[in-house]
């Protein structure tokens, strides 16, 4: 999909040329062509490939050879790869876009919102394959200690309509209304370069994935920057495509580890220690469940998380 600028003035074209899209790939050969094609009209995109084992880089070079492509020899994680892309570009506006997302509406309104006083970032609407808003993922509230407790103890699965989960996943959110939000997904997020650099970019300790965008939104909020949700800017999003090539053990260790990293960074010491205990109880319960009802992979992955908790690997 290629956008023309018919109906827009030269100022919009100039603004779009000041936007660099940064796309981090990992085994994204099936998705990346559509993603890059929809970016035509913006500045040259920057793709950082985190050591894909498929033909992602070959597809990029064949279909979109104009792309600035970095091939990492190892998976540095999403945050480090984004910072790599930021350092390799100089446009004043940065669009973070997942490789399994592609634009279906122009994004010039994201730029104009970022130019408004007090706004440091702007997010569009993420749509699923049927064109429906991805509620519960697109926009969330910033997490609290209670959020993490309900999530790790499994209470959100047993009682999904509980008030803590409803507040976190913004049940009843009006996806058609432009408004300030706390935590949009990093899958489709525009940021002002000066604001991003002022807060220190993405924290590379959150690796290889999860919570790096949550941490960024929290730091933007702490620094007094607003984040604007602009529903007229849309992207179709597959979701979780790179997880298919990640082991269950890696997923569990990364999720619990980065949750605790976020907790240690943004909550008080006592709240963080309480969450360590809560997570230990929650993972222990899931491990016992896996002994009778789960797979060998689940047993091994939860056992790895327990060992990491006990040895403090996840709390550092």
DSSP state of 208: S
pLDDT at 245: 72
Mean pLDDT score, 136-154? 97
User: Is the CB of residue 55 less than 8 Å from the CB of residue 174?
Assistant: no
Question: Can you give the residue ranges of every domain in the chain?
Answer: 10-138+175-243, 144-169, 247-315
Alpha helices by DSSP H, listed for the chain, are 10-16, 32-37, 56-63, 78-87, 108-114, 145-152, 155-158, 163-168, 193-198, 212-222, 248-266, 269-292, 296-310
Name 229's bridge partners.
123, 179
Q: Does position 217 have pLDDT exceeding 90, yes or no?
A: yes
Average pLDDT, the chain: 92
pLDDT at 308: 86
Q: Does position 187 have pLDDT exceeding 70, yes or no?
A: yes
Instruction: Label residue 6 by pLDDT band (50, 70, 90).
Output: very low
Q: Does position 313 have pLDDT exceeding 80, yes or no?
A: no
Q: Provide CB contacts within 8 A for 27, sequence distance 6+.
A: 52, 53, 54, 56, 241, 242, 244, 245
pLDDT at 244: 72
Q: Does position 150 have pLDDT exceeding 80, yes or no?
A: yes
- The H-or-E segment that residue 49 falls in is strand 46-50
Mean pLDDT score, 203-221? 96
Q: Provide CB contacts within 8 A for 207, sequence distance 6+.
A: 76, 77, 78, 79, 80, 254, 258
pLDDT digits (tens, 9 = 90+) for 68-111: 999 999 999 999 999 999 999 999 999 999 999 999 999 999 99
pLDDT at 57: 98
Instruction: Label residue 4 by pLDDT band (50, 70, 90).
Output: very low
Q: Does position 316 have pLDDT exceeding 90, yes or no?
A: no
Q: Does position 235 have pLDDT exceeding 90, yes or no?
A: yes
Mean pLDDT score, 37-48? 93
Structure tokens of 213? 């965008």
- Does this model's pTM top 0.85? My answer is yes
Closest by Cα among 6, 9, 57, 2 to 29: 57
User: Is the CB of residue 94 less than 8 Å from the CB of residue 190?
Assistant: yes
Q: CATH code for 10-138+175-243?
A: 3.90.550.10
Name 133's bridge partners.
127
Mean pLDDT score, 275-294? 93
Mean pLDDT score, 288-311? 90
pLDDT at 9: 47
Q: Does position 167 have pLDDT exceeding 80, yes or no?
A: yes
């Amino acid at each position: 999909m290629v956008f023309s600028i018919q109906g827009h003035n030269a100022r919009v074209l100039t603004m779009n040329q000041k936007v660099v899209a940064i796309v981090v790939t990992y085994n994204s050969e099936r998705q990346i062509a559509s993603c890059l094609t929809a970016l035509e009209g913006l500045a040259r995109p920057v793709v950082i490939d985190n050591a894909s084992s498929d033909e992602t880089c070959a597809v990029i070079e064949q279909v979109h050879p104009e792309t600035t492509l970095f091939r990492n020899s190892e998976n540095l994680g999403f945050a480090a790869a984004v910072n790599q892309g930021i350092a390799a570009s100089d446009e004043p506006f940065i669009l973070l876009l997942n490789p399994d997302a592609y634009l279906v509406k122009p994004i010039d309104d994201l730029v104009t919102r970022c130019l408004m006083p007090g706004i440091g970032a702007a997010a569009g609407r993420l749509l699923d394959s049927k064109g429906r808003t991805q509620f519960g993922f697109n926009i969330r509230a910033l997490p609290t200690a209670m959020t993490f407790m309900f999530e790790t103890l499994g209470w959100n699965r047993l009682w999904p309509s509980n008030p803590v989960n409803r507040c976190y996943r913004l049940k009843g959110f009006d996806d058609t209304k432009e408004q300030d939000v706390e935590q949009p997904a990093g899958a489709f997020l525009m940021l002002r370069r000066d604001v991003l650099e002022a807060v220190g970019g993405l924290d590379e300790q959150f690796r290889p994935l999860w919570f790096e965008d949550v941490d960024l939104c929290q730091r933007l909020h702490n620094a007094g920057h607003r984040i604007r949700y602009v529903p007229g800017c849309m992207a179709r999003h597959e979701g979780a495509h790179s997880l298919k090539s990640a082991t269950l053990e890696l997923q569990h260790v990364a999720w619990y580890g980065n949750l605790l990293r976020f907790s240690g960074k943004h909550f008080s010491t006592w709240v963080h220690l309480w969450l360590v205990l809560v997570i230990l109880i929650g993972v222990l319960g899931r491990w016992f469940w896996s002994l009778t009802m789960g797979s060998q992979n689940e047993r091994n992955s939860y056992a790895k998380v327990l060992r990491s908790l006990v040895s403090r690997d996840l709390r550092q």
